[in-house]
Amino acid sequence: MNRNKRNNSTIDSFSGNHASNLSVVVAVLTFRRPDDLIELIPKLLTHCVEATVGYGMRQPTVLVVDNDPDGGARETATRFGSGITYVHEPTPGIAAARNRALAESADFDLLVFIDDDERPTSGWLTSLLATHLHTGADGVVGPVVSAFAAPLDPWIADGGFFDRRRLPTGTEVRVAATNNLLLDLRLVRSISLQFDENFSASGGSDSLFTRRYTGAGFTLVWCDEAVVTDVVPAERATRDWVIRRRYRIGNSWARTELELASGSAQTVRLRGALLLAGATRVAGGTARATLGVLGRSPRNRAHGIRIAARGAGIVAGAFGRTYLEYRRPIGV
């Protein structure tokens, strides 16, 4: 793997002088969530001020990319004044909105993504920046912790459907979502990397993007202190929703693997490997769920269904089927 990643970088070590030269943009992609924006934007502006004070840098810009064809977030975003840059991206799909964020950030060094339904915790932005500067990594990934608008179904909690990874700070990772991610835009531009809009309706364009980023020799590291909270509404905390989400995650993972394959021979071998991996998960998950029923263990039943659902998504993806979780009605 190519490791000459920082030859053209201006950042060689943790230093106030280096940090002061950086330009940073924090991007929020939004689709018809005005209440979330009203709560999120002031928090982001506070974090931007903290970064300015802590590093002596130019205050980071908050970029709101509105993916609503009607531009419904304009009034909400612009009420916060000069600290906000609002742009309207009418092309449907999260990948198009992510690409618009890249385009609007052409004059910046670093881009930080956060979702519109998330809330940054204390020290979030400064922790991402500190890890980037201390480690010299080309990107930084932070943890997402779910908070629930209503009491969570114990079955969902037992199944670990909302559990996410936590790693020691500095751990290198090869793939990440854009719900809490810092990227070095100078390196993104150096390889002309974009989000694949074929993954807009299915999800997974961020996983594919970061796999290509690390595949080009650039490093992503974990920062466990840069926590954001994912606010989960009641409609996304149902058994049906979490099972479908596991299926979609498996489906997107399989499609990402196939997209990265080089040549027809490797694709054929990979399809076989994915079929085996998915079928193994389906069989193992079904067995565990069955034992959970027989043994009256909700935990085993829920875990088994979670594993089987992801496996079924992998099998479907291996066969070339795409689950369009984010598909919108025409005109929306």
Handedness of CA 12, 16, 19, 20 (dihedral sign): negative
Three-state SS at 209: helix
Radius of gyration from C-alpha coordinates of the chain:
20
In a structure prediction context, what are the per-residue pLDDT tens digits for the chain, which is 332 residues long?
344 444 333 333 333 447 778 999 999 999 999 999 999 999 999 999 999 988 888 899 999 999 999 999 999 999 998 889 999 999 999 999 999 999 999 999 999 999 999 999 999 999 999 999 999 999 999 999 999 999 999 999 999 999 999 999 999 999 999 999 999 999 999 999 999 999 989 999 999 999 999 999 999 999 999 999 999 999 999 999 999 999 999 999 999 999 999 889 999 999 999 999 999 999 999 999 999 999 999 999 999 999 999 999 999 999 999 999 888 765 55
What length does the chain have?
332
Question: Contact at 8 Å (CB) between 3 and 217?
Answer: yes
Please enumerate in sequence order all residues whose Cβ is within 8 A of that of 217, keeping only pairs 6 or more positions apart, or say none: 1, 2, 3, 4, 5
DSSP symbols for 80-144? TGGGEEEEE--SSSHHHHHHHHHHHTTT-SEEEEEETTEEE-TTHHHHHHHHHHHH--SEEE--E
The pTM for the full model equals 0.90
Please provide residue 310's backbone torsions phi and psi, each rounded to the nearest 5 degrees: -65, -40
Question: Contact at 8 Å (CB) between 64 and 46?
Answer: no
